[in-house]
Amino acid sequence: MKLKNDLLRRKEFYAVLSSIADGVVVTDQKGRVVHLSPSAEKMLDIKADEVLEKYVSISTLLRGIPPTNKNLVFCWKEKGCKQIDCPMYSLNNPRCWTITDTCPDGIKQGTFKEKIRRCQICKIFAKNSKILEEPAVTLVEEIVLDQPQKKIIKIKTNPVIDEDGNFLGFVRTLHDITLEREMSAMKDEFVSTVSHDFRIPLTSIKGYVDLILDGEAGELNDMQKEFLTIVKQNGERLITMINDFLDISRIESGKIKFEIKPEDLKSMAQEVINTFQHLINEKEMELEIKIPDVLPKVLIDRNRVIQVLNNLVSNAVKYTPQKGKIGIDIKNEGGYVVVSILDNGAGISVKDQKKLFTKFYRVDSSLTQETGGSGLGLSICKTIIERHDGKIWVESEAEEGSVFSFSLPVAEKIGKSELIKQGMRILVVDDEPDISRLIQLYLEKEGYYVIKAFDGEEALKMAKKERPNLITLDIMMGKIDGFEVLKKLKEDTHTASIPVIVLSVILDEKRGYQLGAADYLPKSVNKGKLIESISRIIRKTGQSGEKKSVLIVDDDKDIVNFIEINLKKADFNVLKAHDGIEALKSIRKEMPDLVLLDIRMPKMNGYEVMEVLKNDKKLRDIPIIIMTAYDLDREKTEVLNLAVDKVSKPFSMKMLTSKINETLIQR
């Protein structure tokens, strides 16, 4: 009677398994297939009768390729075991951990869980279980099948254990995720294409509006400026929303690659404050900054964390009333640097706080409706911070303001070979901290990386150690004056080639130029003249003062024309091409100093252009900066590595010009 009941229960059990839409494969304790569901038969194109009661590995079932057992280790051989009651002692079978109560060292264990706990620290088990494809713990993996048609199968393997803790075998569920992957790929392609189709016209809109506001098309009256400023602000808002949609798509598909390096949060926070300073001034806000003088570096992707800071500071400015108060507070707390952005705006209710970091969620208030947005910003911030092994949270009360905080892990001790920021580095030498800070703000806004020295001796040490691309030098300083510093810089072979711009109230240009100054500018510092002087000197360095030529390659003629206008303003010679074939002809004829290259073009795309250039000995050293509104094809990593940099459309011309200058100087 008991045998009959057992058989009935087994039939009912397999009937249930056969009704599951996913494929099901059940193997017993000895590795024999005891059940193959109809869904699995169809998925694998195999009949149950062909494999039932046979030892068939999952590799054989899925790919028709049996595993190679030649590297298996037999515990009784490895350990020299003489325990005669172990079934493995007389059998050529390495699966002792599933069949008997013993482990490789011959110790009795009892239940399956107790055995596995010991087996998992055994090297023999680790090797054999991988070869035999019997992990003994729950395992999820994906496999691509080519036959009978291409499929992507998600396999979940679970050990089957009875109520007494004994191992009975494995059950594997096979879930066909081909359609899910195809839909995901279609979604990514749709998002990429749509964002591209929006970004291309927005690049032109933004570029030409900026040119008009800069007075390139003639004088504007106040009303025209006001209307164009509204167009610019809403264009930038639309760009932000498109970027948010693109970012969330990349995050969900795992396409965002983080470049983790030790970075200084203090300088990053100041960079973000500079970005929003004009808005803070417009709203007559009080800004309070609390950052300690000594702050450990954090392990982060600089661009992504600046994205988080920009989002949180932007929200604080937007949602705080006129003449309100905002603040940035940074602390070092037990292995983490904690950044807090404070405001005294409308505040957020406890109910809304619970959903604040979820996708597309926006607090339902007249203020949020007025400011607009995608509802993705905080969700993106959360993902970025958590990818850095940090946390993000909010503390707020309605009508009392909010504090958004996030933590980032402190970097380990960094040696002398610590990486400095790539790009143009300028040493600012001035014994007046306020003047030094002002020059720093001017230069950082233009994309330069600033190092500071506050007296002549420190300047000489820093110049020799850091080898900056350029030095701005005050004359009236204690200990050693600027003229003496300039003389020593030009006498030292390590620093003689560094161009120096003298900034001084002393009008002695003749002496400055005699000692080797590249330019001599009077104080007070005129921002426009300083930036123009630096740009001119950088372009001339090592190139006999000749203009650099840049080839713009893009099939959108409006974008080419907009870039051309701006680069000519920056004193570059400009060449143009509208497809890959035209670009190669121009490069071979003109030999430009740098190429700005779009990726998606007719006749020959950007990837193909790069491959041709890098396979030509005469052309391979021409630096290439990629311009694109699409996600880059990660399968073309080798080709992409041929480019020195990348900019995403729409882009800021200041940023693009800065990248061009950096690249040319590094060359």
pTM across the whole model: 0.41
Structural domain includes residue 392: yes
Structural domain includes residue 5: no
Burial class (CB in 10 A: 0-12, 13-18, 19+), 147: exposed
The CATH number of whichever domain residue 36 belongs to comes to 3.30.450.20
Mind giving me the DSSP string for 477-504?
Answer: -SSS-HHHHHHHHHHSTTTTTS-EEEEE
The CA distance from 151 to 40, in Å, is: 13
In total, how many domains does the chain have?
5
Task: Please give the pLDDT value at position 415.
Answer: 33
Task: Please give the pLDDT value at position 594.
Answer: 93
Task: Please give the pLDDT value at position 65.
Answer: 61
The CA distance from 463 to 365, in Å, is: 54
Q: Share the mean pLDDT of the chain.
A: 77
Task: Please give the pLDDT value at position 633.
Answer: 65
Structural domain includes residue 90: yes
- The first and second tokens of residue 578, run together, are 């509208």
- The first and second tokens of residue 444, run together, are 């950082």
Q: Are residues 139 and 243 in the same domain?
A: no
Of 403-417, 542-556, 562-576, 593-607, which gets the smallest average pLDDT? Answer: 403-417
Task: Please give the pLDDT value at position 340.
Answer: 93
- The first and second tokens of residue 42, run together, are 């169809």
Mind giving me the DSSP string for 260-291?
Answer: -EEE-HHHHHHHHHHHHHHHHHHTT-EEEEE-
Final residue before a domain boundary, out of 180, 197, 217: 180
Structural domain includes residue 9: no
Task: Please give the pLDDT value at position 178.
Answer: 82
Task: Please give the pLDDT value at position 17.
Answer: 66
Higher pLDDT pick, 631 / 3: 631
Structural domain includes residue 13: no
Task: Please give the pLDDT value at position 176.
Answer: 84
Structural domain includes residue 388: yes
- The listed range with the strongest mean pLDDT (13-22, 28-37, 419-428, 578-587) is 578-587
Beta strand segments in 177-269, E: 261-263
Q: Are residues 479 and 557 in the same domain?
A: no
| pLDDT above 90 as % of the chain | 6
Final residue before a domain boundary, out of 356, 375, 409: 409
Mind giving me the DSSP string for 516-578?
Answer: T-SEEEESSP-HHHHHHHHHHHHHHTTTTTPPPEEEEE-S-HHHHHHHHHHHHHTT-EEEEES
Task: Please give the pLDDT value at position 328.
Answer: 92
- Rg, Å, the chain Cα set: 33
367-392 confidence digits (pLDDT tens): 444 455 556 778 888 888 888 888 88
Higher pLDDT pick, 140 / 253: 140
Task: Please give the pLDDT value at position 196.
Answer: 65
Q: Are residues 464 and 505 in the same domain?
A: yes
Q: Are residues 472 and 619 in the same domain?
A: no
The CA distance from 88 to 102, in Å, is: 10
313-343 confidence digits (pLDDT tens): 988 888 888 888 888 999 988 778 999 999 8
Structural domain includes residue 309: yes
Mean pLDDT of 469-477: 88
Confidence of residue 416 (pLDDT cuts 50, 70, 90): very low
Q: Are residues 452 and 404 in the same domain?
A: no
Task: Please give the pLDDT value at position 4.
Answer: 41
Task: Please give the pLDDT value at position 637.
Answer: 63
In which element (H, E) is residue 473 found?
A: strand 470-473
Task: Please give the pLDDT value at position 584.
Answer: 92
605-625 confidence digits (pLDDT tens): 888 998 888 888 888 888 999
Final residue before a domain boundary, out of 523, 540, 557: 540
Q: Are residues 174 and 197 in the same domain?
A: no
Strand 261-263 with 286-290, pairing: unpaired
Q: What is the DSSP letter of 410?
A: B
The single-letter code of the amino acid at 492 is D
Structural domain includes residue 418: no
The single-letter code of the amino acid at 8 is L
Task: Please give the pLDDT value at position 273.
Answer: 86
Query: Is pLDDT of 83 > 50?
Result: yes
- The first and second tokens of residue 94, run together, are 């390495």
Q: Are residues 313 and 392 in the same domain?
A: yes
Domain that holds residue 239: 182-253
Q: What is the DSSP letter of 631?
A: P
Q: Are residues 529 and 440 in the same domain?
A: yes
The CATH number of whichever domain residue 605 belongs to comes to 3.40.50.2300
The CATH number of whichever domain residue 377 belongs to comes to 3.30.565.10
Question: Which of these, 550, 546, 506, lies nearest to 660 by C-alpha position?
Answer: 550
Task: Please give the pLDDT value at position 628.
Answer: 81
Mean pLDDT of 575-593: 90
The CA distance from 470 to 423, in Å, is: 12
The CA distance from 409 to 245, in Å, is: 28
Task: Please give the pLDDT value at position 256.
Answer: 63
Mean pLDDT of 419-424: 42
Task: Please give the pLDDT value at position 115.
Answer: 66
Of 186-190, 361-365, 406-410, which gets the smallest average pLDDT? Answer: 361-365
Query: Is pLDDT of 89 > 70?
Result: no
Q: Are residues 123 and 200 in the same domain?
A: no
The CA distance from 440 to 454, in Å, is: 13
Q: Are residues 332 and 436 in the same domain?
A: no
Q: Are residues 358 and 437 in the same domain?
A: no
267-294 confidence digits (pLDDT tens): 888 888 887 888 888 888 888 888 887 7
Q: Are residues 348 and 239 in the same domain?
A: no
For the sheet containing 151-161, what is the strand order? 33-36, 23-28, 167-176, 151-161, 139-145
Query: Is pLDDT of 483 > 60?
Result: yes
CA distances from 216 to 6, 209, 211, 564 (A): 89, 10, 5, 13
Confidence of residue 405 (pLDDT cuts 50, 70, 90): very high
- The first and second tokens of residue 129, run together, are 């279980």
The CA distance from 640 to 49, in Å, is: 51
